[in-house]
Copies of this chain bind each other. A is one copy, B any other.
Amino acid sequence: MNAIEYIQQHIQSLDWKREPRGLYEPIEYALQSGGKRLRPALAVIASDLFDGCRDDVLPAALALEVFHNFTLLHDDVMDNAPIRRGRPTVHIRWNENTAILSGDQMLIEAYKLLSEVKPQYLPQVISLFNKMATEICEGQQYDVDFEHRDDVSRDDYLMMIRLKTSVLLATALQIGALIAGADNDAQLSLYNYGINIGLAFQLQDDILDVYGDPATFGKAIGGDILCAKKTYLLLTALLKADAEQKKQLMQLLTDKTLPDQHKIQSVTALYNQLGVRKICEEVMNNYTMLALAELDKINAPEEKKLILINLAQKLLARKE
């Protein structure tokens, strides 16, 4: 059974048929609405790499998935997002208070699962988990802060997406390796692989948001342009633009009368002039290479590493 199948099976067997239903039904809804299960799968894959026992890593892997879905529940309230994985979000299906309270309970459930980790690993696992959870909240706050700042650098942006996206992938891998008995160096290499793959993943997401094929990309194209989100593409464009191009770009982004499609096309045309896509792809490829280099340092059978190598390459080639 591959790691994702293993996780799917055990996510399904979590029991949410508890009272009061108003608290637990939204949790069940959120956790059964699909999703890639990437984070818990990474913990299992890391454990497999060192011949760890999957059942030992399972509680932590499930904690990571429940935690991830907790962040989605609260993020969707904060972003006022109506749809998640093709279904109404919890605050739409129920209400905001439900999304807040059931989300809180999911965070507590994550810690309950985590506490089932074997005692000899528990203090370290909790410490890694707490650090990661803190960084994700910090990343979310920076993301909000950046909307209102006009001095955001590309390094600021990379720092923010490292916190918001990468550390959860990296920590999933490290915890999986830790519980499988891997040494510190191997744990660290996997952590760094996760950081770099996460950055590459987010940069690809930013690129697809502008250049993706509407037929295969899950979301509408141009969403980031319409809300003037300070992505790596926009920050690069602002850096490369001359005074005239910069003025033009700012006007386009702040113009509230312009039809959406017109705005998207004009900004994309400017991006093309400035060669923004290519720069962004190079940075992304570089992070992918850094991720693969971390795998090289790990003393484990090459055929077992293949799944992580493939994951990196799949990310680079993905269209959705």
Residues of A at under 8 Å CB distance from B? 19-20, 22-23, 74, 77-78, 97, 100-101, 103-105, 107-109, 111-112, 115, 119, 122-123, 126-127, 130, 133-134, 137-138, 140-142, 144-145
Residue of B nearest to A71 (CB): B104
Number of copies: 2
Closest A-B pairs by Cβ, 9 of them:
A23-B141, A105-B137, A78-B97, A20-B141, A108-B133, A112-B130, A115-B126, A22-B141, A20-B142
Q: What is the distance, in angstroms, from A100's C-beta to the closest C-beta of chain B?
A: 6
Q: Told that A20-B141, A103-B104, A107-B107 touch, could you supply 16 new A-B pairs with CB distance under 8 A?
A: A20-B138, A20-B145, A22-B144, A74-B100, A77-B97, A101-B137, A101-B140, A101-B141, A105-B134, A107-B108, A108-B130, A108-B133, A115-B123, A115-B127, A119-B123, A122-B123
Contacts of A142 in B (CB 8 A): 20
Q: What is the distance, in angstroms, from A306's C-beta to the closest C-beta of chain B?
A: 35
Contacts of A137 in B (CB 8 A): 23, 101, 104-105, 108
Q: What is the distance, in angstroms, from A224's C-beta to the closest C-beta of chain B?
A: 20
Q: What is the distance, in angstroms, from A120's C-beta to the closest C-beta of chain B?
A: 10
Contacts of A103 in B (CB 8 A): 104
Contact status A126-B101, CB under 8 Å: no
In angstroms, Cα B19 to Cα A109, docked, is 27
Residue of B nearest to A80 (CB): B97
